[in-house]
Amino acid sequence: MGYRVLSRILALLFLLTAGGARALEPPLPSSPSTPVSAPAPDCPRRFPDLHQLEGIIASRTSELNASHQQVQQHMLATILFQLGIILLLIVTLLYRRQVQKALLKEKQMISAMLDSSLQFMGLLDLEGRLIHVNHTALGRFSSRSEDVLGQVFWETPWWRHSEYDQDRLRRAILLAVTGEESRFELNCPLQDGESVDVDFSVRPVLDHRMKIINLLIEGRDISARKQAEMQVAARRRELQEANSYLHTLIGALPDTLMELDMDGRIYQFHSPSADFPAPPEAGQVWAIRDFLPEEACHGIQSLIAQAALSGMARGGGIRLNDRQGRSRDYELSVTSLPEAEGAARRFVVLAREAGL
């Protein structure tokens, strides 16, 4: 009922307007020369059909409603799209925050692992700049982190004393960027005037995609080992010199010298005389029974048994034939050598030709 009343009111308003009345009038004649005559008084005036107007209004209203629904749907879709973008931004920000927390936690864990190490350790970026160094290295080299962090590693104050070491470090780091590990020894001076020997290594650090993301540098203080090696080398030189001196003394002796064990095996043999029998070949372990008569072997081992009890035995003798078949008598003396742990007890036997 309300819709009908509204339609009628709109129709009346349309009729009352001049434009509506002119729109409903018949078109004028096309010829301008023909005078327009006024309608006859008895000619009835034509009015539009109210039912037709109601149909037009209903059609327009339906179109407006459809257009309004389309606008509402478009606005709703726009709002939903904007809400989706906002939701996506929120999720992205939350994910980014979680990733940042995970990276920070991982960085803190790596820093804690490096700082807890007793060795010199640090991290480099792929351009060779130092991005982390542990407290062990800073304390050993009396450095502050702000003095070295951000610098190219081979240009830090630790290596400015040697262009050769700087070049070695630079080449090793460039190789590590390509995936190759390097290791060598360096010597670094300290502020107190001493120096530290470092077993240095650099190797790449890979992520889960096996991509190189950083370089791990590591240094082990081997100063004590190097000092021990130097002491061993010096001791070895001393022993070599003493051994050479001893061989010189032995070579000057006119006596035949043999180093034997309890079973008569020979470890050292020296004889200045070609008349004293010698082992068949040098470089092999022989026993005295391989080249001496049984009676001579018995006399030597008897003195060895006495020296094993008292440390020294002398006074015995043996008789041997020289190359010409002549008999020669030899006086013997046996001395026990200090026992070496895990080794057979040994004795030094001196044989001097009687009458010399």
User: What pLDDT does 22 receive?
Assistant: 45
Write the secondary structure of 203-240 as one string of H (helix), E (strand) and C (coil): EEEECCCCCEEEEEEEEEECHHHHHHHHHHHHHHHHHH
pLDDT at 7 over 60: no
Read off the DSSP letter of residue 199.
E
Query: 231 vs 193, 196, 218, 221, 282, CA distance in Å?
Result: 21, 17, 26, 17, 33
CA-based end-to-end distance of the chain: 162
Q: How many CA atoms lie less than 13 Å away from 217 in the CB half-sphere?
A: 27
CA distance 20 to 9: 14
User: What pLDDT does 108 receive?
Assistant: 63
User: What pLDDT does 88 receive?
Assistant: 86
Work out the pLDDT band at 16, boundaries 50, 70, 90.
Answer: very low
Strand partners, 183: 201
Which of 204 and 19 is assigned the larger pLDDT?
204
Task: Pinpoint the alpha helices (H) of 116-219.
Answer: 135-140, 145-148, 163-177
**Number of Cβ atoms within 10 Å of the Cβ of 70:** 10
User: What pLDDT does 177 receive?
Assistant: 95
User: What pLDDT does 129 receive?
Assistant: 95
Percentages of the chain per state (helix, strand, coil), in multiples of 5: 45, 25, 30
CA torsion, ordered 299, 302, 306, 311, to nearest 10 deg: 60
User: What pLDDT does 254 receive?
Assistant: 82
Which among 62, 184, 175 is positioned nearest to 128, based on CA atoms? Answer: 175
User: What pLDDT does 321 receive?
Assistant: 83
Same CATH fold assignment for domains 117-227 and 253-353: yes
User: What pLDDT does 81 receive?
Assistant: 86
Burial grade of 98 (CB within 10 A; 0-12, 13-18, 19 or more): exposed
pLDDT at 3 over 60: no
What is the chain's alpha carbon radius of gyration, rounded to the nearest angstrom? 57
Instruction: Pick 117-227's CATH classification: 3.30.390.50, 3.30.450.20, 3.20.20.60, 3.90.1150.50.
Output: 3.30.450.20
| Tens digits of residue pLDDT in 184-201 | 999 988 877 788 899 999
Query: 101 vs 97, 104, 105, 108, 114, CA distance in Å?
Result: 6, 5, 6, 10, 20
**Number of Cβ atoms within 10 Å of the Cβ of 192:** 7
Question: What is the sign of the dihedral through the CA atoms of 331, 334, 335 and 341?
Answer: positive
Q: Which are the contacts of 254, defined by CB distance < 8 A and separation ≥ 6? A: 272, 273, 352, 356
CA distance 133 to 122: 4
| Tens digits of residue pLDDT in 32-64 | 444 444 454 554 545 557 777 778 888 888 888
User: What pLDDT does 171 receive?
Assistant: 95
Q: Which are the contacts of 281, defined by CB distance < 8 A and separation ≥ 6? A: none
Structure tokens at 83: 């809400």
Q: What does residue 353 show for φ and ψ, rounded to 5 degrees?
A: -65, 130
Q: Strand 212-221's sheet: what is its strand order?
A: 130-133, 120-124, 212-221, 195-206, 182-189
pLDDT at 144 over 80: yes
CA distance 198 to 246: 39
As a whole number, the mean pLDDT across the chain is 81
Work out the pLDDT band at 116, boundaries 50, 70, 90.
Answer: low
pLDDT at 204 over 90: yes
Q: Class for domain 253-353, per CATH?
A: alpha beta
User: What pLDDT does 109 receive?
Assistant: 67
Work out the pLDDT band at 10, boundaries 50, 70, 90.
Answer: very low
Alpha carbon 248 to its chain's center: 54
Domain boundaries, the chain: 117-227, 253-353
Q: What does residue 292 show for φ and ψ, rounded to 5 degrees?
A: -110, 150
Q: Which are the contacts of 187, defined by CB distance < 8 A and separation ≥ 6? A: 165, 195, 196, 197, 198
